[in-house]
Amino acid sequence: MDQMDVSLAGRINVRGDGNVVEDRFSLTASADFAKGGRITLNANPGFRPSAALKDGKTNLTDASQLSGIGNLDDIDVSISKSADILGQACDLTLSTESLGNGGIAGLQVKTNVDKVGDVTLTLAKKGHKAFSGKSKDGEAQASENDACRIDVALPLSDVNADLTGSVNYDLNTQDANLSLGYKNGDVALRLRTSMGSDKSLSHKVNADYSGIEGIGLGLEVNDAGAGKVTVTKDKYSLVVPVSKDGGVDTNNASLRMTWSMDM
């Protein structure tokens, strides 16, 4: 095994209601092994600093909560390796999350199939995050069911270089998703349509603009007329929820700062 790379990373979130919290905090160590393989360990301590600016309360003075920083039950391990399977070149990732709580396993196989394109097969147990295909505020969310999902990239760039697309289907839950993207200069648009096992449909649209140097602007809206406006600058981002009924929700707005440190 080669030399291990170790880093700390987190995100500080200042909310519109006056609360401040370190809502992300992790220690990651990774190293190459076995001729092109990679093993990664990610630990999430059981303590995250928080404070309420209005009343001055903080968990930094609570010894019972501070002791949680030594709780490393939430440990994830993943192993990535390229291999040939039945003559097909594949990238394999074996992931086990929450090792200290029994472990939640997942396997992902990526390959490129002639006349089809990029294809990904995902097998994961209920509760797995990295392979759930779902995220909120940029953070993977735990899956609600076991997954047996196939993702296929649509060859739309052959028709128009500015178009992208993908479709996935879960054989277990019978959920399906179609994603379409279009980029022209500084403007990028994305449409995601989801169909549940009951054949119900939901939609979400994202629009991003990068024409202002160093600043990113984003708008996300779902079919209920709710979403968020995002402004990013380097490691900072301002996120403001909006809706057609409630307008701008300043109480749940947040200013976030991501940070990382190599060790």
Alpha carbon distance 49, 218 (integer Å): 29
- Radius of gyration of the chain measured on its C-alpha atoms: 21
**Does 112 have pLDDT greater than 70?**
yes
Please give the Cα distance from 188 to 185 (Å, whole number).
Answer: 8
Residue 127 shares a structural domain with residue 187 = no
- Regarding whether 62 and 83 lie in a shared domain, the answer is no
Rounded to an integer, the average pLDDT of 37-51 is: 84
Task: Say whether both 47 and 92 belong to one domain.
Answer: no
Q: Show the domain range for 116.
A: 78-153
Short-list 117, 187, 190, CA closest to 157: 117
pLDDT averaged over every residue in the chain = 89
Task: Give percent of the chain with pLDDT exceeding 90.
Answer: 63
Of 153, 188, 206, the position where a domain reaches its end is 153
Q: Is the pLDDT of residue 1 over 60?
A: no
The number of residues making up the chain comes to: 263
Report the number of secondary-structure helices (H) and strands (E) in the chain: 1, 21
pTM score, whole prediction: 0.83
Do both 237 and 144 map to the same domain?
A: no
Q: Residues near 69 by Cβ (< 8 Å), separated by ≥ 6? A: 45, 46, 47
**Do residues 89 and 66 touch, judged by C-beta distance below 8 A?**
no
- pLDDT reported for residue 247: 93
Q: Tell me the helix, strand and coil percentages in the chain, rounded to 5.
A: 5, 60, 30
Both 100 and 14 in one domain: the answer is no
pLDDT tier for residue 64 given thresholds of 50, 70 and 90: low
- For the segment 211-237, the average pLDDT, to the nearest whole number, is 95
> Which pair of tokens denotes residue 87?
């003559």
| Token representation of residue 222 | 């779902």
Residues 31 and 131 in one domain: no
CA 121 to chain centre: 18
Q: Among 138, 153, 168, which residue terminates a domain?
A: 153
In the predicted structure, residue 120 carries a pLDDT above the cut 60: yes
DSSP string, 143-188: -SS-EEEEEEE--GGGT-TTEEEEEEEETTT--EEEEEEEEETTEE
- The answer to whether 192 touches 204, Cβ cutoff 8 Å, is yes
Q: Which is higher by pLDDT, 182 or 100?
A: 182
159 with 147, same domain: the answer is no
End of a domain among 72, 105, 132? 72
Same domain, 177 and 132: no
Tokens of 111: 């390959």
Number of folded domains in the chain? 3
Neighbours of 80 (CB within 10 A): 17
